[in-house]
Structures are given as structure tokens and as C-alpha cells.
Structure 1
Amino acid sequence: MSAAEPVDTAVPAAAPRPPSGPRMTEQVLRVIVPIAMLVALVALWHWYVVAYNVPHYILPAPERVAQAMIEDWPTLSGALFVTLKITFAALAIALVGGVLIAVLLAQSKWIEIALYPYMVILQVTPIVAIAPLILIYAPTTQSALLICAWIVAFFPVLSNTTQGLKSTDHNLLNLFELYGASRWQTLFLLKLPAALPYFLVGLRIAGGLALIAAVVAEFAAGSAGAGSGLAFRILESQYRLNIPRLFAALILLCATGVAIFFATSLVSHLLLRKWHESAIRREN
């Protein structure tokens, strides 16, 4: 190369990013495929009832369930509100109590040794077995239902948050000690952010368990009247052979559980999407 020839110093152009078309197609399919599956199952259900002339008090047709949902909506919506109130109250108490106790367990080895075994015992004991005792000693039926739902939802939050606090990188802990950080600074600036993914997993589990526990507690309590939840409406429909309304109540419960799961998953995604490996999409 002669001295007169110019030297090409331009930076090579970056490789083109892969098209977003396949990614968008995958996201669309994730929505369309479950919906198509649901439509197919409902169609199969309708065909079976019509083809074999199944009585509605054995297996109602989908249109009968939809009709019961519309006609009995005032009753079902009121019962759903009662169940949701117990569910979310129990979940809120479980989140606050689980995180606070997890912090205590992580900060003091002796507190963990003293309390953790009894919390495990409380968790593994079937809620149906202790619900009658709670109903006896609780001041009101609603408070008894709340306690039952809280017991079931509490342990996933406690267990996952405690594990997350204990899983903090030891190299980072040594770095904080090197710079003279206090225990509270280490807790709030290092341990709690590191435990956030574990806590969010516990949140997703506890959300579904709180709803399940609220329904089981309502079954055990057998509460009736205007303040009863969906569990009593299911029992009432069974006793009266009002099977379409029973199916409508079950569908409401399933839809509520799915909504809680997606809501807690959305919260997890929003909190982790910019920094945690579990939520960041791979580029290759």
C-alpha cells in the first residue's frame, strides 16, 4: 500500500438484528392455541351432551351453564366478592408476616432454630383438620376463614424469602463487610434485592393457595346466608341439584385462580425484567 492511498478506518457495520417476526408469531400463538383448545373442549362438551341426551342435572350443556351464570349473577358475584375479600386479606397478611419473620430468621440463627420447626409443623398439618378448632376459638366466622387462608398462604412466602436471604452471594457479603457496611445496610441494599426473585416465586404460590384455602375453609365452616362465599353456593347448588349454577360457580373459581396467577406473574415480570436472568430474554 502506498503512502498516498487512504486508509479505511471506518468501523464495520453491526450485524443486523434478527427480525422480530418469529418472536411476535410465538407470542400470538401462545394466546391463540390455548383459546382454540378451550373452544374445542367446549364444543366437545356440547356435542357429548346433545349426542347422548345427558340430563342437565347430570351434566348441563355449556349454554345452560352460561344461562345460569347470567341469571344467578347477583348471587354468584356477591359470593365471589366474599371469597375474594378473604383471599386477598389473607394474602396481604401472609406477605407482610412472611417477609418480616423471614428477615428475623435470616438475621438471627437462634430465632431460626427456635421458630422454624414449629412453622413447618403448622404448614404440614392439613387445614381441614385444624379448621374446626379455629372456628371454635375465633371470635367470628369471617375471622376464622381468614386465619385458615393465612396459614396456608404464609409458609410459601416465608420459606422462599428465607431461602433467598440465605442465598446472597458470599463475595458480595465480603465486599460489604470490607467497606464497613452495617447489618441493616447489608440487609436493605444487598440481601433483600437478592431475595426478591425468591419472594416473587413465593408470591405466585401463595396467591393460588390463598384462594384454595379460603374455599376449603368455607367448606369446613359451612357458613350460610348473605355473607357466604362461593364454596357455600357450590354446596347449596349440589343439595338442590342445580348443577348448571354449580358449574357456573366452579368456572368463576377457576377464572379467579387464573387471574390471580397471571397478576402475580405480571408483578414478577415487571420487577425482574430489567436485571434478573430469569426474566431477561436471550439475544441468541
Structure 2
Amino acid sequence: MKTPLLHHPDAIRIVSPVLLGIFLLGFWQFACVHWKIPSFLIPAPSEIVRTLIGNWPSLSGALLVTLKITLLAFLFATLLGVCIAFLLVQSRIVEASLFPYAILLQVTPIVAIAPLIIIWVKLQTPALVICATLVALFPIVSNTVLGLRSVNPGLANLFRINRATRWQTLLRLRIPSALPYFFGGLRISSGLALIGAVVAEFVAGTGGSGAGLAYQILQAGFQLDIPLMFAALLLIAATGVALFLAMAWLSRFGLGHWHESQMGN
């Protein structure tokens, strides 16, 4: 017997938030029109869309700048985080020595160190990428280390009994065991890279052709152009959702055929 479409798990995950979003947007539009809420307080969704369309040339250019910084930071955070994780798992002494500094870097607010990085690194784009990379780095390191450590003891003993080399154990046991944790770190890190890019742009506060969405928000705030501010925020939110969905698809592609966390989805 076939499962009705509305009761299918994939359909529920898609239809439910879409219906809720349509309801909330409709209520938002109704509230703004019915109670005549000024646009400088809360603009109606229709006004935000009109502003987005009318300012699309400048907003799309700013989006590309922010997206470039985000993707570069995410790439560097992934590569650097994996390398650090492999270094940490080589020895408990190495992990005990270095991991506290990774935590220290994570808990230090990026707004506190971003001005120093911007001063030290003269070029704007590399400075912003470094700031965003620092924000996105820790989830990759911590999740990958946890995954490399989370090896089934029975399988580890089996590899040991069969005299598998350290390299064979790493490739055939530790890395496959770490993949679910690694993909989880990617989902977190992708969003943090975007947050780090936007925060770094706020701190830099530079305009011109190299300005991102954060500068558009700053300018809209100075001019009290609240619809433009909401339009820029909408693009940032949409970018974050797109990055998360891309990482979720990548996780499903990499784990869907063999790992139990994805096989039931």
C-alpha cells in the first residue's frame, strides 16, 4: 500500500515549513496594511520585495562580494580544520597541548580581533576571509577530532588482530567513521562562515565596489531606509539557508548509501 503524499516524510519536511511561512508572511502583510504600520518601523513583505527588485543591481553585487568571502573562508576553514584534526589525533599529548588554544580562539569574539587583523593585513578581501575563517574553523576541528576518535572498539581490535598498518586503519576505519561527524561540522561551519564574513564587513565598514551586504545594511541604517535593510537581511538569510541545504545534500550524497543516519531519510 502506497503512503499518501502528505504523509510522506520528505513531503512533510517540505510542505509544513512552506505552509507555515506562507501563513506568517500573509499575517505580516495583513498586519502592516490593516494597522497602517509605518515602513520605517516594519515594512510590509510586498514593500521589501519591491525594494529588493528596485535595488537589485547594487544588492546583487554586494551579495556576490559577501558570498565570495564566505565560500573562500569556508574552503580554508575546511582544509585547515581537517589538517589540524589529523594532527591532534596523532597523539593525546599533542591534542592536550593544542586543543585548549583552539577553544581559546573559538570563544574570543571576532569583533574583538577583527580590527587587529584588518590593520595587520592591508588588503581588504584577505583580511575579511581570515576573520571569517577563524569563526568557521572550530566546528570542523572539533567534529573531525570526535569522529576520528569515535571508532568501534570491536572493529579497532579486528584491524589490530589482522596487523593492519596505521595508514590502513586510518583510511579504512577512522576516516569512514569520522565522515558523519565531519559532515555535521560542515553544516555548522558553512553558516558560521557567512556570519563571520558579515561581522568582518561590519567591522571593516568599507564601501565602494568591494562592499558586501553588511555595508548595504549600514548605509540603509544611516539613511533610515528600513525596507532596504530588510531586503539585504533577506539575501543574507537566503544565502545561509542555501549553504545549509547544500551541506545537507552533500551529507546525504556521501552517507546515504551506507550510514544509518541517512538511509532512513
TM bucket (normalised to shorter chain) is over 0.9
Of 175, 185, 189 in structure 2, the residue corresponding to residue 202 of structure 1 is: 185
Q: Which residue of structure 2 lines up, in the alignment, with residue 166 of structure 1? A: 149
Aligned pairs for 1:125-274 within 5 A? 125-274=108-257
Question: Percent identity over the alignment?
Answer: 48
Measured in 2, the distance between the counterparts of 1:22 and 1:50 equals: 36
Aligned to 1:120: 103
91-100 or 22-31, which deviates more: 22-31
Aligned mates of 1:32, 1:116 — CA distance in 2 = 42
CA distance in 2, matches of 1:241, 1:222: 17
Query: Matched residue of 2:209: which SS?
Result: coil
Q: 1:237 to 1:160 in 2, by over 3 A?
A: same
Output the amino acid matched with 1:171.
G
Runs of 4+ in 1 over 6 A off after TM superposition: none
- Cα RMSD (Å): 1.5
SS of the aligned residue for 1:278 comes to helix
- The one-letter code of the counterpart of 1:230 is L
For residues 4-54 of structure 1, give each alpha carbon's deviation from its aligned partner in whole angstroms, at most 9, with x where no partner exists.
Answer: xxxxxxxxxxxxxx5333686443233222222112112111111112222
1:66 to 23, 28, 49: 49
Letter in 2 for 1:179: N
Q: Distance in 2 between matches of 1:201 and 1:62?
A: 33
Structure 1 unmatched ranges of 5 or more: 1-17
Which residue identity lines up with residue 98 of structure 2 in the other structure? L
* Aligned with residue 94 of structure 2, among 94, 108, 111: 111
Q: TM-score, normalised by structure 1?
A: 0.89
Shift of 1:139: 2.7
Partner residue of 1:94 out of 49, 68, 77: 77
What SS does structure 1 have at the residue aligned with 2:257?
Answer: coil
Q: Which amino acid aligns with 2:253?
A: L
Separation in structure 2 between the aligned mates of residue 159 and residue 95 of structure 1, nearest angstrom: 12
Letter in 1 for 2:264: R
Q: Given the superposition, is the C-alpha separation of residues 75 and 43 from structure 1 closer, same or farther in structure 2, using an over 3 Å criterion? A: same
What is the TM-score of this pair, normalised by structure 2?
0.95
Bigger CA radius of gyration: 1
Q: Distance in 2 between matches of 1:33 and 1:158?
A: 34
- Per the alignment, residue 77 of structure 1 pairs with 60
**Contact in 1 for aligned 2:62/2:212 (Cα 8 Å):** yes
Partner of 1:10: none
Q: Deviations over 1:144-195 (max 9, x none)?
A: 1111110111100000000110111122122212222111111111100110
CA distance in 1 between counterparts of 2:4 and 2:40 reads 49
- 3-state SS of paired residue (1:45): helix
Letter in 1 for 2:235: L
Q: How many angstroms apart in 1 are the aligned matches of 2:178 and 2:17? A: 33
Rate the CA distance shift 1:194–1:68 in 2: closer, same or farther, 3 A.
same
Distance 1:159 1:26 in 2: 31
Residue matched to 1:3: none
Which stretch shows the higher mean deviation, 257-266 or 31-40?
Answer: 31-40
Q: CA separation in 2, counterparts of 1:263 and 1:98?
A: 19
* Aligned-pair CA distance for 1:210: 0.6
Structure 2 contact 6–12 (Cα < 8 Å) conserved: no
CA contact (8 A) 2:132 2:200 kept: yes
